[in-house]
Amino acid sequence: AAGAPLRGRVGVGYELLATIAQREGHLPDAAHAYRQGIAIFDSLGNRPYAEKLRARLETLLIAG
């Protein structure tokens, strides 16, 4: 799919946003960004990356 590389970059962008939001203490925003990234990587069939973000989201929710 021609749009896959771009969508992958957008997914990584959501991961970066989540990381920044988490470091700044904006946990709801971080959780939302992780969920968006997970949705993108799931749609691309990139389960390993989606699972990586799911693990980070779970850690965030447990800590929060």
Number of domains in the chain: 1
Q: Say which amino acid occupies 8.
A: G
Assign 3 a pLDDT band (cuts: 50, 70, 90).
confident
Give the residue numbers spanning the domain of 47: 4-63
What confidence score (pLDDT) does residue 63 get? 86
CATH number, domain of 30, equals 1.20.58
Once rounded to an integer, what is the mean pLDDT over residues 30-48? 96
The pTM for the full model equals 0.90
Mean pLDDT of 40-51: 95
CA distance 34 to 25: 14
Residues 6+ away with beta carbon under 8 Å from 30: 17, 18, 19, 21, 22, 60
The pLDDT of residue 43 is 94
pLDDT at position 1 over 70: no
